[in-house]
Structure 1
Amino acid sequence: MPSTSSSRLMKRGALVVLEGVDRSGKSTQCKMLKDTLNNQGHSVELFRFPERSTAIGKVIADYLAKKCELDDHAVHLLFSANRWELMPDLKKHIENGTTVIVDRYAYSGAAFTAAKPGFSLDWCKQADVGLPRPDLVLFLTLTPEQAARRGGFGDERYEQTDFQKRVAANYSKLSGEDNWKMIDADKDIDTLHTELTQLITSTIAATKSSGLGTLWTPASDCSGSPVKEKTRLGQEEALV
């Protein structure tokens, strides 16, 4: 059995998020990155949000496929709840030294809901306060017009060019955090993949001995423990 001191020295995995407007190539790159990094000897798992296999995820899937209608506030909280329900598993992987690549995260939740009338980015962020903070956010930049020319655009509820423009504007407001890197996605798949692989490999090496932070809290201690959010809204919604 490992000693307590050995356990403390265990190197954690990195938390890497890919974000971008719809059809920017995130899902394709996430799958390729998992395979490439595993083949290089890294331990890597892939998460995707929304995770449509859970009970909450199935409701979201029906909503996105336009099979049901829900209040926009309720939908936003369902997306957040879908992230929270998978956090124990995600954090366990990271603590055990596995790097987790995530296809969409809380940034998507905030950017998409705030693109709807009557919603502010500040309100939209509250339900996800305290989630693990990514070590690296790779934002794949692609204009809504470029995305609309890619196959499958328009199949789901939010795939409308004007809406995607508002989403892109919200992403721009969120991108000021120091863990973000803007990546031009208007290039061939292999060239983009090589660029992303190099950035993630560097992040894995740089974060092995550091604590995992918490998202959108006033501060986070080095162990990654959440700092209590003082707003009533944030406290209540984090429990959804």
Structure 2
Amino acid sequence: MTPPGPRATVPGPSRPGARVHGGAARPFTVLLGPDYAGKSSVLRRLADDPSWTVVSYDRGLLDTGSPLVGRVRDEFLAEALCDPGRYSPDLVLSLLQVAVVHLRDRVATAPRDTHVLVDSYYFKILAKCHLLGLRNEALFSWWRGFPQPERVLFLDVTPDLAWRRSGHGADANSLEHYGERPTAQTFQSFQTDLRRTLLTEVSHLDVTTIEPGHTIEETVRAVEAATVERVNRNPQHV
């Protein structure tokens, strides 16, 4: 299956305004953004701080007690992404769902005495699947029924800067651009659509945008400040 070109239609949450905490151990924050926004660097910094619980399936951030999730991630990156037409959309979505459900489960069991910061949650996987024609609305509706975050911190980046950070496409995978190969046009067009789709998907939530151009240290401080502000306004959450 060759991913289609850009689409004008952008999905929205099936339950706008919903903020569901039933089933979650405690409130949490999601760090979200387009590709190459610097999100992983921020998460790695905060993962070293014992006052934070960072929830992610990325290599280096995945908790050591979830080796199955790591193996599925590695096989997906090594095989399914390198040969996009080999497996059916439903099978690809089934693999991606392992990551989505893992994030939900880790939020539910996170320690109550730490700030819980989740890497993209289901939002980014859902947005990318929609843009690339990997669609299963029943599955997406189930994801949207997961407990919702207290806040989304949107780490922004321009498509041009993201293109440069990707090594002008050298590091881009097939979930980061339209078409068979990344070019400046197919990559930046996808990232533009991704940004818009992500913001639509979380429009029913409290979103704080962290503008591009900050150093990692400045971005980490902005994430810390936004989270602490929320806790100070709702001290019962910690």
Taking structure 2 as the reference length, the TM-score comes to 0.68
CA offsets per residue over residues 155-204 of structure 1, 9 Å max, x none? 22223313222212211322312322222123222222222210011223
> Per the alignment, in what secondary structure is the counterpart of residue 37 of structure 2?
coil
1:228 alignment counterpart:
none
> Per the alignment, in what secondary structure is the counterpart of residue 70 of structure 1?
coil
CA offsets per residue over residues 40-69 of structure 1, 9 Å max, x none? xxx322121455942433332324651673
1:102 alignment counterpart:
118
> Per the alignment, in what secondary structure is the counterpart of residue 131 of structure 2?
coil
| 1:175–1:13 Cα change, 3 Å | closer
Equivalent position amino acid for 1:108 in 2: K
Query: How far apart are the structure 1 equivalents of 2:122 and 2:199?
Result: 14
Structure 2, unpaired ranges of 5+: 1-24, 178-186
Q: Of the candidates 44, 52, 70, which is equivalent to residue 44 of structure 1?
A: 52
Task: Report the CA distance between 1:132 and its aligned residue.
Answer: 2.5
2:40 alignment counterpart:
27
Q: Of the candidates 59, 63, 88, which is equivalent to residue 71 of structure 1?
A: 88
> Per the alignment, in what secondary structure is the counterpart of residue 209 of structure 1?
helix
Task: Report the CA distance between 1:109 and its aligned residue.
Answer: 1.4
Query: How far apart are the structure 2 equivalents of 1:34 and 1:66?
Result: 30
1:223 alignment counterpart:
none
Task: Report the CA distance between 1:210 and its aligned residue.
Answer: 5.2
**Conserved? CA contact 2:153–2:210, under 8 Å:** yes
1:111 alignment counterpart:
127
Equivalent position amino acid for 1:103 in 2: D
> Per the alignment, in what secondary structure is the counterpart of residue 55 of structure 2?
strand
Equivalent position amino acid for 1:21 in 2: P
Query: How far apart are the structure 1 equivalents of 2:33 and 2:27?
Result: 20
**Conserved? CA contact 1:48–1:102, under 8 Å:** yes
Equivalent position amino acid for 1:198 in 2: A
**Conserved? CA contact 1:15–1:135, under 8 Å:** yes
Query: How far apart are the structure 2 equivalents of 1:17 and 1:24?
Result: 14
2:232 alignment counterpart:
205
Aligned CA RMSD, in angstroms, stands at 3.0
Query: How far apart are the structure 2 equivalents of 1:167 and 1:202?
Result: 28
Equivalent position amino acid for 2:77 in 1: A
Identity, % of aligned positions? 20
List, as ranges, runs of 4+ consecutive aligned residues in structure 1 with deviation greater than 6 Å.
Answer: none
**Conserved? CA contact 1:106–1:128, under 8 Å:** yes
1:142 alignment counterpart:
157
